[in-house]
Structure 1
Amino acid sequence: MVKDDVVASPPDGSVWRAPGFLPLLTATLLGFAGFAMLLPSGPMRALEIGAGAEGAGLVNAVLMLFTVLAQLVVAPATRRFGWARCFAAGLLFLGLPSLAMPLLAELNWLLAMSALRGLGFGLLTVGGATAVSLLVPPSARGRAVGAYGLSIALPQFLLTPLAPVAMETAGFTAVALAGALPVAALPWVSRIARHVGSVEDGPDDDGEKPGWAALLHRIWPSLVALLLVTTGGGAVLTFAAEMVDAPAVAALALAAFTGVAALGRWLIGGAADRWGPRRFIAPVLLLGAAGFAVFGLAASPGPVWLLLAAAGASGFAYGSLQNLTLVYAFAGGGERSRPRTSVVWNIGFDAGTGLGALAIGQLSEALTFPTAFLAMGAVIAGAAVVLGLALRFGRRA
């Protein structure tokens, strides 16, 4: 379990001045800008070509499936080819396929491009999280993860709500061109790589490096919480534009979700450094469960203020738990297991996002969006209670 009862004091200076950290944030921002533009508009393109809600859900489900597959092999690939080559390949695979998507009018081809983009996203996410852990000391990691999360969440806040509006006004081609922004991040890769150094796994600080099973045993609470909150987040990001009749209201809801998520991921970092992440995980997850349930009820249809409040509450949980669970995982996994921990955490994140898109898409076909979101909120709430008890009474290392 994570040693978060005694938290090291932060080092002198700002995490923003850590060598290589600002170039990493710049590359991450551009990479996630392309991802954010296509996250809601890719499923909308599937609806546009007549694939239906299930087909729309498959677009992001396939994206996340191939993201996870890439994340499973990124550690050995990085050891063989180097961090810089793998990170650059991620930017290319994520950005270039978006240029072909406006030319495709069949779901299978659309899914093929989503698969390629998923491979790129997997390389990008693991490489970025690993670099954060290598560039910044553990005592400042909560703030570093917050800043890194801000570079992820900011494009989602600005571009994810804009994407459905841009697609309605300028067409999918314009949105897909913006989806190629990750390619523009290539010049920053070498600047980061010179400070990252080797990402070879080595012996843990407390002895031998833990195997995969031991690592999962150490960090499982963070993975469960992450999987749950990203399932809800994936559902919101995929289906908000379809659930809300007015495009402007859908854009506002997505802006509230992604904007508060950005603030939550940034602001919780200092608290995680000072008090440790353990005590915050279950309460924030309960807040997210309530937010997701109310979001589904208010979207079809409901008062706009209630929809925005629910989007903000679930967004805060979505952003904050990304920070809390990653800090918890790095602390529990040990300093020499950071690459493996990054792989496992990112798999949990993207598996949850894909699960949310797939499960809510299928449930909404059989039932309704409000019922599907209500059921999801109830499951997350029940799991949060169990997780809170495990964190409160579980064995501490």
Structure 2
Amino acid sequence: MMRSVELFVGAGGLGIGVSQAGFRPAAVMDWDRWACDTLRENRERGLDPIAHWPIHEGDVRQFDFGKINGTVDLVTGGPPCQPFSMGGRHRAFLDSRDMFPQAIRAVRELQPRAFIFENVKGLTRSSFANYLEYIRLQLTYPDLVAKQEEEWLAHLARLEEHHTKGNVRGLHYRVVMRVLNAANYGVPQRRERIFLVGFRADTGIEWHFPNPAYSRDALLWSQWRDDVYWDLHRVARKHRPVDNAAKSRAMKLSERPIDKPWLTVRDAISDLPDPELSPGTAQGFHDHRFQPGARSYKGHTGSPLDEPAKTLKAGVHGVPGGENMLRRADGSVRYFTVRESARLQTFPDDMVFHGAWSETMRQLGNAVPCQLARIVASGVRGRLLAAAVS
């Protein structure tokens, strides 16, 4: 069994996907009490794969990686992303919440054969271009640490010189990065995240990100060219939404796409009763309770039922209304329940979440979809296995 270390685990989306890909964690850590309570509760309930997780609650800056015995094949995590979120405050490297230095320390001290780190798409903004390159080069050469009182731009310059001189020796990694849209990998949500994946240079591994298998065009074909989507959900013509733009694009397709159709909100939650319209029936599903107060306003109109959901967000103070709402075909809106949000993030159906609604939605809004994490981690594991036998 390949061993991993999961940093900044949160509600466990990335960690669950990594475990589903075949890694067994030697340590799983986060500082947030509510997120750790969620994981501990599911571990006590015996939920696979969390039942086998060694959970450490606390500040990763105080964690001694030397306590982890044996070889670590993979280090993963999503360093807190608030400094880089397009909806955040854009303080970037000046923000004390930036935990990338701790991710780099983990790589330096554990020397795993590979790592997977992810963050919000906002990290790719032009205003953060230099800092993103700084992160990439630090992950490439984790032993080349900043000197005391050295500013980050001066450290970046040293890393650039080291990178360009060639014939590099010592610990270093071959790093690739790409923005992935979760909808292209079978997640019922348009969620874009940047992934940084690295392999230790001495492994000689060649790798690329998994190819997408789902597309919007395939969904449009299924909805507006052959009616398979509507027939599958038993939606009569009179109840189908009017979307002339989507229908026009579908009619311009010359042939059926070879990809699978994007999954939609309806695909994800159609078997769940509406908690507002059928509250009695909904009580039979855990974490599936109606939350009042949803309203639509400019720029925040909710996620249409027959498209992948918009990106679920955690928010700075509570939950942003528009990103976490369902918009029905008649134009009415309501908040997604915790269970529906978990479905949109591809968490296991029998997983429960700890805390009040706003706290639970924060955990879900910060998570990586388990399905996307599993696909990326499976690709990494496949190459590690192949390299081990070659």
* TM-score over 0.5 (shorter chain): no
Q: Which TM class, normalised by the smaller chain length?
A: under 0.3
Q: TM-score, normalised by structure 1?
A: 0.23
**Greater relative contact order (Cα 8 A, min sep 6): structure 1 or 2?**
1
Greater share of strand residues, 1 or 2? 2
TM-score (normalizing by structure 2): 0.24
The structure having more radius of gyration, on CA atoms, is 2
